[in-house]
Structure 1
Amino acid sequence: MAKNNDEVIDRLREYLKIPSVHPDVDYSGCVDFLKEQANSLDLPVVVFEFAPQKPIVVITWEGSQPDLPAILLNSHMDVVPVYEEHWTYPPFEAVLTDDGWIYARGSQDMKSVGMIHLEAIRRLKNTGVVLKRTVHASFVPDEEIGSDEGMNLFSQSEEFKKLNIGFALDESYPSMDDVLVAYHGERTCRQIQVTCRGTPSHASLLLPEKTAGEKLYYMIDKLMKLRETEKKKVTSLEKMGSVTTINLTVIEGGVQVNVLPEELSASFDVRIAPDVDHDEFDKMIQSWCDEAGEGVSFKYYTKNPRIAPTKVDDSAVFFTAIKQSLDKMDVKLSCSICPGTTDARFVRKQGIPAINLTPINNTPMLLHAHDERIHVDRYREGIHVMENILEAVANA
């Protein structure tokens, strides 16, 4: 049964009630709330702004050996839009039901994780634990829209470098069973547009040369056959990050149904698996363009660089510390490549190891869904798990 006088739950609900929702997010409520949390912890807090109205909040707990590389606990303050008519309870009232569920946007993605970070710090600090490494808890904007003005700018700044980060933790997603899900890397986003040009003519004719439509058919066929090959490799959502995904998302062109178009194009969202050679992938697409015929080309909407995954073998000091702390609690862990993207990619791009881990299990996965919710018992257990993880990595 849910308790109405639980300060830990009250703090989470207060954060969840702040409507830091896209589009046109106002982060001022989050900043004020986080400053209050820092004050209650008697910890220093700074607010950076590398783009107008895009604040980054950093709360710092200095370790006994502050010269050692620090630990970063990162979370994002923004949440995705809601369709209130499909919610059982208003999404920004953080309603706590009698059976212990908190209904709120951000209860899984990822305000709950940000508060788990702070509550773990609170517990350790209040019990007199002294950590060797300094711990920074960062709260960043705009993760849900790509982080261009959030972690992207922050991770490249002098202010970030001065934090001396040696290891970072970020989000994964709640596990639907008792095995926590961790990610140690991400695929590379390469969104492309294929353009096919042909001779415009009357649509009643069968021209001897290839039309724009025939060329586009060839390209779509090649890409969709590759998609089918990759699709056969997928046995679960957890394994999605290990394959290259290709999805046709936009088709454009044509002026009238009885006119052969001069130009047709198709856009594909492509996420390249970590073990694929990016240059060879590009060469493959170009060879298909050449085979399709004259006037066929492709360009990138997005051409992210390959970022090496974080090592999770015996040489990985921080991941080993996480695994050992979970083993002591008899908590199971599964580690794989993230099927989507998170702010951790910007940290890894700086050469810093990062693990994505949401310490919440036995919970329906409702990221971005209607009636997003978290159970108070699972939340409390997540704090306990993070408390042990943080002590392990900060003393590694």
Structure 2
Amino acid sequence: EKTNGNFISEAHYCSTPQCWGLLFSSGRKANGPGTEDPSVTLFREYLRLKTVHPEPDYGTSETLLPCPVCPGRVVAIITWVGSRPELKSVVLNSHTDVVPVYEEHWKHDPFAAVKDEHGNIYGRGSQDMKCVTIQYIEAIRRLKAAGKRFSRTIHLTFFPDEEVGGHKGMETFVKHPEFQKLNIGFALDEGLANPTNAYTVFYGERNPWWITVRCPGSPGHGSRFVENTAAEKLRRVINSFLEFREKEKHRLNTNECFTLGDVTTVNMTMVKGGVAYNVIPAEMDVSFDLRIPPTVNLQEFEVKIKAWCKEAGEDVTYDFAQKHMDQNFTSTEESDPWWHAFSSTCKAMNVTLKKEIFPAATDSRFIREEGLPAIGFSPMNLTPILLHDHNEYLNEQVFLRGIQVYERLVPALASVPPLSGEE
């Protein structure tokens, strides 16, 4: 399917949100005195689209193909074919959904994309990660306008539901035949802001484990000392998990080389049980969100959880709502051609890189699980980390600088010489 205008050479496979016509339009108005950069205007218009959970308005275009991945979900893949399309491709990935907001805590409407007198643009998704989506698009637009073309094919991919685990997005898509057709060699995905002058780059992620522990017990009247109650078991379970949490927190605070991605975080997120004040419940459940570094032996860690449940009392069990076992790293050795292209380009721009394990989870984990290298990178320095926070914002100058960064990075990655097996 061919796109309109001069932006992208080929739409490899599309089922598009309502915003794609806006994003891929070829008309660009020149700036006049006091006018806003068109890239910033586009970014702000994208922020106003309410792709917010629990009911994100992804929308569809009836003129393009229906999405065969998950009904009701929208995936878009836009392809710029390289001069040597048989070579492995470069993927620029982003997600279109955003997390909910507590509007009463925002100084501006979180979906109005208000820009203040300092150039700070407020909006849900301004950091996570609608900024990167537009930066990709604007960088590609500028490269094509300059008549550039590279040996490797470039895919821009736009995925739904990353913020709710990616089950109806990237997790499903990597098992789809269309994923194999992309012939991916390397992928870029989202990162985090950095309050310093450096840019943070992520070469791996912690594994999210969402676990519910079920504590059955003896029921009875609320006036009695009933033995072996669910609440007693629940208390022991909570103590075991939170004592481990304190140990990991201590490790982080006492090792200056550690970042959040180097330790396991544990947070109790839900407690369920009980029917009335005067009835001792027959079961109580507690849920935890764990994020485990890829350096941890995951099998041994689950043995630890089993021990905590056994110590809590008879018949205490657990199950997982989410359990990722990916321990793949993307190489950051200078001998690796993909990393060398990335890092040397940053060095040429006098960009300082800070390498870390991503503390949360992104769609990159599904790409790495397929054995493919992926780097998490959002060019936002001198910026507080505000993803999922109240008053999320990004300064327009930081945003514009990010476009320039991708204008340099994309050609470098798309020009990596043929690797072993590609000749």
**Structure 1 position 213 matched with structure 2 position 231:** yes
Matches within 5 A, 1:95-114: 95-114=114-133
**Structure 1 position 150 matched with structure 2 position 169:** yes
Residue 232 of structure 1 is aligned with which of 247, 250, 255?
250
Distance of 1:58 and 1:160 partners within structure 2 = 10
Distance of 1:24 and 1:237 partners within structure 2 = 41
2:70: which partner in 1? 51
TM superposition shift of 1:94 = 2.4
- Change in CA separation of 1:6 and 1:306 when aligned onto 2, cut-off 3 Å: closer
Distance of 1:364 and 1:285 partners within structure 2 = 35
TM superposition shift of 1:85 = 4.1
2:243 partner amino acid: K
Distance of 1:201 and 1:97 partners within structure 2 = 60
Residue 321 of structure 1 is aligned with which of 325, 336, 341?
341
Percent sequence identity over aligned pairs: 43
Whether the 8 Å CA contact 2:326–2:365 is kept in 1: the answer is no
- Change in CA separation of 1:46 and 1:395 when aligned onto 2, cut-off 3 Å: farther
- Change in CA separation of 1:47 and 1:115 when aligned onto 2, cut-off 3 Å: farther
1:349: which partner in 2? 369
1:15 partner amino acid: Y
TM superposition shift of 1:359 = 0.8
Distance of 2:65 and 2:115 partners within structure 1 = 32
1:123 partner amino acid: R
Matched residue pairs, number?
382
Cα deviation per residue 1:232-282 (whole Å; 9 max; x = unaligned)? Answer: 122489811111111122223344555544333322222222111121112
Matches within 5 A, 1:326-337: 326-337=346-357
Matches within 5 A, 1:10-49: 10-28=41-59, 48-49=67-68
- Other structure's SS at 2:259 match: helix
- Other structure's SS at 1:95 match: coil
Greater shift after overlay, 247-256 or 64-73? 247-256
Distance of 2:99 and 2:275 partners within structure 1 = 36
TM superposition shift of 1:190 = 1.8
Matches within 5 A, 1:69-218: 69-202=88-221, 210-218=228-236
TM superposition shift of 1:129 = 2.6
Distance of 2:118 and 2:229 partners within structure 1 = 63
Cα deviation per residue 1:62-91 (whole Å; 9 max; x = unaligned)? Answer: 112211100000111122233444433333
Gap runs ≥5 in structure 2: 1-32, 417-423
- Other structure's SS at 1:11 match: helix
Question: RMSD of the alignment, in Å?
Answer: 2.6
Gap runs ≥5 in structure 1: 36-44
- Other structure's SS at 2:45 match: helix
1:42: which partner in 2? none
TM superposition shift of 1:11 = 2.1
- Other structure's SS at 1:299 match: strand
2:351 partner amino acid: V
- Change in CA separation of 1:301 and 1:237 when aligned onto 2, cut-off 3 Å: farther
Cα deviation per residue 1:139-182 (whole Å; 9 max; x = unaligned)? Answer: 11121222211112222211111010111101111211111111
Whether the 8 Å CA contact 2:295–2:327 is kept in 1: the answer is no
Greater shift after overlay, 88-97 or 218-227? 88-97
Matches within 5 A, 1:360-379: 360-379=380-399
- Other structure's SS at 1:129 match: coil
